[in-house]
Amino acid sequence: MGITLAAFQIGTGTTLFLTSVMLVMGISKPPQHLEDEDFAVVPLALPIIVGPGTIGTLMVWSTELPHNIERLAAFAAIIAAGLTMSLFLLLAEGIQRRLGHQVIAMMTKLTALVLTALAAQIVFTGVKSFMAY
């Protein structure tokens, strides 16, 4: 298809950046689908937690791992992250009760700021790679 890694980095970074800006601004509602719109393009088997930004980031990062031991470590980290996410989802109600709505909103905005910086870095790396051609 002729899609370069630089183009993929810019696209992924932009998607992540838009998602993180929405989180910082407190926009959590996804856009509504029109009744006649075909949304079958999105695989229903993908969990909501793993969106296009996450998948794109993992694909970009996987290209930067030259050795099998690094890829194995990354795979272990992804499994650990999945197990941690499962644990947090199981304990989410209790965590929310203990921390309260305001603390969770503050933590969401702070982590979204870090995600914004990560997204910007991915875009900058893509632009730098594109300019090197």
Domains in the chain: boundaries: 5-27+50-131
Res 44: pLDDT: 40
- Average pLDDT over all residues of the chain: 78
Mean pLDDT within 110-123: 86
**pLDDT-above-90 percentage for the chain:** 7
Asked if 6 contacts 122 with a C-beta cutoff of 8 angstroms, the reply is no
pLDDT, tens only, 13-23: 888 888 888 87
Asked if 105 contacts 26 with a C-beta cutoff of 8 angstroms, the reply is yes
Provide the 3-class DSSP secondary structure of residue 1.
Answer: coil
Mean pLDDT within 64-71: 84
Asked if 24 contacts 113 with a C-beta cutoff of 8 angstroms, the reply is yes
Of 55, 53, 29, give the one whose Cα is nearest residue 116.
53
Between CA 58 and CA 73 the distance in angstroms is 13
Asked if 16 contacts 53 with a C-beta cutoff of 8 angstroms, the reply is yes
Q: Which two tokens stand for residue 33?
A: 């689908």
- Indicate the pTM of the whole model: 0.60
Task: Mark out the alpha helices in 26-100 (DSSP H runs).
Answer: 52-62, 68-90, 92-99
* Sign of the CA dihedral running 82, 94, 116, 43: positive
**pLDDT-above-70 percentage for the chain:** 80
pLDDT, tens only, 69-86: 888 888 898 889 889 988
Q: Give residues with Cβ within 8 angstroms of 12, minimum separation 6.
A: 52, 53, 56, 57, 59, 60, 122, 126
Provide the 3-class DSSP secondary structure of residue 41.
Answer: coil
